[in-house]
């Protein structure tokens, strides 16, 4: 059994959907389970509905309808197939309208609202596979993936998800049916729709792969695999044939959008290789992510994040105190804030976070026992590679390069796990730093 996930661009045009159908047809011998994202741009459009005044909503819905209609019309000449599919899309758009009219605003509502993107795309892809002579069935993942109630970035509950996923998907694949699973969404125990965070369809694929003990998880996207840097920003970045689980996790967590940050975890625990492949260049080998790749002691890739927030916490209470750091981290944990980097001196602690959610509350609590300052709109640049910090040469070169570019490091973190060098810089210096580090350290 394999799991093949197709991202937004891979399900949005006639050409890519036909390629998807070919890929699935070629893999029928390995019992593929397909996972799909919403059509490109649809998740953003759905989210925007939540903030629009009532008189603008119809227009936005028309935009969403048009994206789906264009695809449907381009895919088939068969009028009956076209109208059945269009009828389904229209019924979902009506459900969206009703939801907006009666729902209370909040995260629960937003998750329910955006879930329609994947629900609509999975229907189209199911019909596309059928039209190519395959047996396929749409599966809405609220029936498979049980999550906690952290709306917007929910975490799956292992045992119940495993039970449901196996119960629903195994009989399908055993009878030669290709399940087409909605990415990105799950449901709480009580059945409320949740989402796994932006880009979460990758995570769905790896959760499903983990539950079914798949032999491989394929992430089909719009580039030739995992690159040495985001190819959109760095034109001479190159695709990496092989990276380790650890390197891929670290890259994803430190900003490389090609994989959702939690994708690799289930794959690691079940030892399932992950392949990142290009729907627009399907013959390319892409990137294979496996347990071990050759550690070279050098940087393999550079990633970046924007909109980083630095929180500096000062207190003389810290001097030779025990438990002060625990007190600080407890505040972040209690407010459900995930910390990226930490740097500690005798009387201060600096942490970087990438989400403003709950931050105000945390700062208030920290201010009860320390002096706190918050610096917004910073950027973070990370160099990733196993054994990267084992050579003094790499570290020296990083600072030489930044010095030459006149980029000031506001905070630095060398992971003791020897895989990541991260530097917080002014937001408008991110691009310069990424390009310079890539040119000098990653171009052969």
**Is 379 one of the binding residues for Mg ion (CB under 5 A)?**
no
**Is 225 one of the binding residues for ligand ASP (CB under 6 A)?**
no
Query: Which residues are CB-contacts of 364 (< 8 A; sequence separation ≥ 6)?
Result: none
Q: Which does 340 bind (CB under 5 to 8 A by kind): ligand ADP, ligand ASP, Mg ion, none?
A: none
Closest CB 70 distance from Mg ion, rounded Å: 22
- 278 and 233 in contact (C-beta within 8 Å)? no
Instruction: Please state, as a whole number, how many other Cβ atoms lie within 10 Å of the Cβ of residue 120.
Output: 27
Instruction: Give CA–CA dist 373/399, Å, rounded.
Output: 26
**Is 183 one of the binding residues for ligand ASP (CB under 6 A)?**
yes
Instruction: Give CA–CA dist 109/324, Å, rounded.
Output: 38
Q: Which does 209 bind (CB under 5 to 8 A by kind): Mg ion, ligand ASP, ligand ADP, none?
A: none
Q: Edge to edge, what strands does the sheet with 185-188 contain?
A: 146-147, 185-188, 193-195
Query: Which residues are CB-contacts of 125 (< 8 A; sequence separation ≥ 6)?
Result: 6, 11, 17, 20, 34, 36, 136, 180
**Is 37 one of the binding residues for ligand ASP (CB under 6 A)?**
yes
Return the beta strands (E) in 334-409 as ranges: 339-344, 348-353, 371-384
Closest CB 315 distance from ligand ADP, rounded Å: 38
**Is 184 one of the binding residues for ligand ASP (CB under 6 A)?**
yes
Instruction: State which residue, 199 or 379, has the beta carbon closest to Mg ion.
Output: 199
Interface pattern 116-155 for ligand ASP (x via CB under 6 A): -x--------------------------------------
Number of H helices, E strands in the chain: 13, 17
**Is 199 one of the binding residues for Mg ion (CB under 5 A)?**
yes
Interface pattern 278-317 for Mg ion (x via CB under 5 A): ----------------------------------------
List 32, 199, 255, 266, residue binding ligand ASP (CB under 6 A): 199
Neighbour-count burial of 170, counting CB atoms closer than 10 A to its CB (0-12 exposed, 13-18 middle, 19+ buried): middle
Closest CB 101 distance from ligand ASP, rounded Å: 23
**Interface positions with ligand ADP (CB under 6 A):** 7-10, 37, 199, 221-223, 226-227, 229-232, 256-258, 301
Closest CB 426 distance from ligand ASP, rounded Å: 28
Two structure tokens written together for 75: 């895919």
Near Mg ion by CB under 5 A, which window of 75-83, 196-204, 271-279, 331-339? Answer: 196-204
Instruction: Give CA–CA dist 260/381, Å, rounded.
Output: 18
């Amino acid at each position: 059994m394999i799991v093949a996930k197709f991202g937004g661009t891979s399900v949005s045009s006639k050409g890519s959907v036909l390629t998807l159908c070919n890929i699935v047809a070629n893999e029928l011998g390995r019992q593929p389970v397909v996972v799909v994202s919403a059509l490109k741009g649809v998740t953003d459009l759905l989210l925007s509905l939540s903030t629009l005044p009532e008189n603008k909503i119809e227009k936005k819905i028309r935009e969403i309808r048009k994206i789906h209609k264009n695809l449907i019309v381009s895919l088939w000449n068969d009028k009956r197939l076209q109208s059945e599919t269009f009828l389904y899309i229209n019924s979902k758009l009506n459900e969206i309208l009703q939801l907006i009219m009666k729902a209370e605003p909040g995260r629960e509502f937003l998750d329910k609202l955006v879930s329609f993107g994947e629900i609509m795309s999975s229907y189209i892809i199911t019909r596309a596979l059928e039209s190519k002579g395959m047996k396929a069935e749409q599966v809405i993942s609220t029936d498979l993936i049980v999550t906690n109630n952290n709306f917007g970035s929910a975490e799956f509950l292992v045992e119940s998800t495993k039970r449901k996923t196996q119960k629903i998907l195994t009989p399908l694949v055993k009878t030669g049916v290709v399940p087409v699973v909605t990415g990105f969404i799950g449901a709480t125990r009580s059945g409320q729709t949740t989402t796994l965070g932006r880009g979460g369809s990758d995570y769905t694929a790896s959760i499903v792969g983990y539950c079914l003990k798949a032999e491989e998880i394929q992430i089909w996207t719009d580039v030739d695999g995992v690159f040495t840097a985001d190819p959109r920003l760095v034109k001479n970045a190159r695709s990496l044939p092989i990276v380790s689980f650890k390197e891929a996790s670290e890259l994803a967590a430190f900003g490389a959008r090609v994989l959702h940050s939690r994708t690799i975890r289930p794959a690691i625990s079940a030892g399932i290789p992950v392949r990142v492949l290009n729907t627009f260049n399907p013959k390319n080998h892409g990137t294979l992510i496996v347990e071990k790749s050759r550690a070279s002691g050098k940087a393999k890739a550079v990633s970046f994040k924007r909109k980083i927030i630095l929180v500096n916490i000062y207190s003389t209470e810290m001097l030779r105190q025990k438990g002060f750091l625990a007190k600080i981290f407890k505040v972040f944990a209690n407010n459900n804030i995930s910390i990226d980097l930490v740097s500690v001196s005798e009387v201060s602690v600096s942490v970087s976070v990438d989400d403003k959610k709950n931050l105000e509350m945390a700062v208030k609590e920290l201010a009860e026992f320390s002096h706190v300052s918050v610096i917004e709109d910073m950027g973070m640049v990370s160099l990733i590679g196993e054994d990267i910090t084992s050579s003094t040469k790499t570290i020296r070169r990083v600072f030489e390069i930044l010095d030459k570019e006149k980029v000031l490091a506001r905070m630095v973190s060398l992971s003791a796990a020897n895989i990541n060098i991260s530097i917080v810089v002014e937001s408008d210096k991110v691009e310069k730093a990424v390009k310079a580090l890539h040119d000098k350290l990653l171009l052969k």
